[in-house]
Chains A and B, each alone.
Chain A
């Protein structure tokens, strides 16, 4: 009887145990199936990421400004090296590097898994180096800038891990970067790949960017500006060359410059593209714009004579205004006011125009807001609402004080004059192309939406008043035999940082010109900040900036003429 009970108990236990096992199997196979199969997948497969090649940046004629190439880096895994001296001695002759330096890198590395030894090696060098225990080879993309500092502020640069940090590299990061892919392999217990599971890496290389910039014109511009920048020991300098009809930027230089190939060791202040980030009071270069606004609004006409108070204009609510070098002028027409660059004449034009019309005109010319150029960090400048203006504002803004602008805004305003009063939007990127050179996105300049001023007014300012500035006024040093230029000089005092008023020794010398006057092909701005006055070489726009602009115009027009044949 007892045996029968034991047998029944054992039998029951066996059935329960079997049932439990069946249930457990069911649980593992059905309920936890996905969980365990994903663990299994991870254990038996290995992923090999494929990094995309960053897109190229080209100028308008195909000159390479930035491109990526794969380079091999020899590295050490310090924790896997038992005798660093021996490993260094073996490696040294293979990669042409002193053994003690290699040893220092291996022993001094803070990372036990990785110590970079040397980059950019030939295939036979890294292949033999990889045979040494604890030494490996890493293949990675490296960004190159063949033109060096030539267009550094436009092109920008990338970080060590190939992310855009400035210029076009930053602005078009998404298009240039592409997207990474990966190969999937079945792996053995030591994680070595056995066979492919999936071998179609969906890596998409980055798109190429074609700029409107012309490297040759950029070179003319940079060389000429750099010469003057050094000669006058200036704090900074900017030059821009624009095609006024389309708004395409042909050259843009900002000094001091830098070499994007050595960005890591550069003073970060030099990274600033001052043509778009720095704002300043423009001074007399703003006068033609104000004159155009006044003529367009019929506040003055071209034959009207304005009394310039014999060099001393003062009144209630706007203080005292004097001419540059205390010149004394009497009655002058608008043209004469521009040629002689009379502050009092301009102040009176401002008063005739009135606050609202002056503010409206400046807003239409694009002051006080960004131009929308394809570069990061653009400043909008500063144009206060006219409700906040005082009597001082109405008489100072017409000769370029109490308003803050960027070099690009100024050159755009002159492009509007050169373009017969039609709106212009400056742009830098012409097209985006894929790896086969097929255009993905063609960026045509947006068609002009309307006239900022009447065409007759723009033509009169360009062909009559501003050509006279070159032929008989402050811009004489920019006169060229072959081409008739139009332009305006400007010498603006820089406001004191710590107190009210202007610094008598700190100036911004500017000159904006275009040519040929009858059908402008280019507009050029040159602006030099704080030329050293103590050198005794001059500090005005006519002395410092005008000759540079003239040389840039002459070389550029000759070059463009030759390109047409």
Chain B
């Protein structure tokens, strides 16, 4: 009876350990997936910000300001 109990316990323990290991791996993969997602979103936002910055730079640099002032003068 006792040995049967031990046998069930060992089988149960091993199964639980296997399930827990699989769970840990899945959790690790999921966390990695979320990390990649956040990483991608962050780089996309950074990319959009840099794009806007470059657009602003293209509008406020001295050459562009002079050009727009000249255009205004011509229109007036």
Contacts and interface: CB of A to CB of B under 8 A. Distances in A.
Interface of A: 63-64, 67, 69-70, 123, 144, 146-150, 194-196, 199, 215-216, 218-219, 222-223
B21 interface: no
Contacts of A194: 29
Contacts of A147: 57-58, 61-64
A216 B53 CA distance: 19
B66 A70 contact: no
Contacts of A70: 43, 47, 50
Interface residues of B, number: 18
Nearest to A122: B48
Nearest to B55: A146
A146 B54 contact: yes
Contact of B58 (A146, A195, A222): A146
A123 B44 contact: yes
Nearest to B25: A195
Contacts of A67: 50, 53-54, 57
Interface in B38-55: 43-44, 47, 50-51, 53-54
Nearest to A148: B63
Contact of A215 (B53, B58, B62): B62
Given A63-B57, A69-B50, A146-B54, A219 B32 contact: no
Contacts of B43: 70
B44 A69 contact: no
Contacts of B66: 219, 223
Query: Is the contact region of chain A dominated by helix, strand, or loop, or is it mixed?
Result: mixed
Nearest to B28: A195
Given A195-B28, A195-B29, A223-B66, A146 B50 contact: no
B54 A64 contact: yes
A254 to B, nearest CB: 15
B57 A146 contact: yes
A181 B62 CA distance: 37
27 contacts: A63-B57, A63-B61, A64-B53, A64-B54, A67-B50, A67-B53, A67-B54, A67-B57, A69-B47, A69-B50, A69-B51, A70-B43, A146-B57, A147-B58, A147-B61, A147-B62, A147-B63, A147-B64, A148-B58, A149-B63, A150-B61, A194-B29, A196-B32, A215-B62, A216-B62, A219-B62, A219-B66
A146 B44 contact: no
Contacts of A222: 63
Given A70-B43, A195-B29, A196-B32, A150 B50 contact: no
A222 B62 CA distance: 11
Counting chain B CB atoms within 10 Å of each CB, the highest count among A63, A146, A219, A223 belongs to A146
Nearest to B43: A70
A1 to B, nearest CB: 54
B62 to A, nearest CB: 4
A149 B53 CA distance: 19
Interface in B1-39: 28-29, 32, 35
B42 to A, nearest CB: 12
A64 B57 CA distance: 7
The 8 A-B pairs with the shortest beta carbon distances in the complex, nearest first, are A219-B62, A146-B57, A146-B58, A150-B63, A64-B57, A147-B61, A69-B50, A216-B62
B74 to A, nearest CB: 15
A356 B5 CA distance: 111
A483 to B, nearest CB: 22
Contacts of A64: 53-54, 57, 61
A199 B62 contact: no
Contacts of B62: 63, 147, 150, 215-216, 218-219
Counting chain A CB atoms within 10 Å of each CB, the highest count among B47, B51, B62 belongs to B62
Contact of B54 (A69, A195, A196, A219): A69
A195 B32 contact: yes
Counting chain B CB atoms within 10 Å of each CB, the highest count among A69, A194, A196, A223 belongs to A69
A194 B26 CA distance: 11
Contact of B32 (A144, A150, A199): A199
B33 to A, nearest CB: 9
Contacts of B57: 63-64, 67, 146-147
B2 to A, nearest CB: 42
A64 B54 CA distance: 8
A70 B53 CA distance: 13
A124 B36 CA distance: 19
Nearest to B63: A150
A194 B47 CA distance: 27
A215 B66 CA distance: 12
A80 to B, nearest CB: 24
Contacts of B47: 69-70
B38 to A, nearest CB: 13
Nearest to A194: B29
Contacts of B63: 147-150, 215, 219, 222
Contacts of B35: 199
A220 to B, nearest CB: 8
A153 B45 CA distance: 32
Nearest to A72: B47
A326 B3 CA distance: 127
A435 to B, nearest CB: 12
A59 to B, nearest CB: 9
A148 B43 CA distance: 26
A25 to B, nearest CB: 30
Contacts of A148: 58, 63
Contacts of A69: 47, 50-51, 54
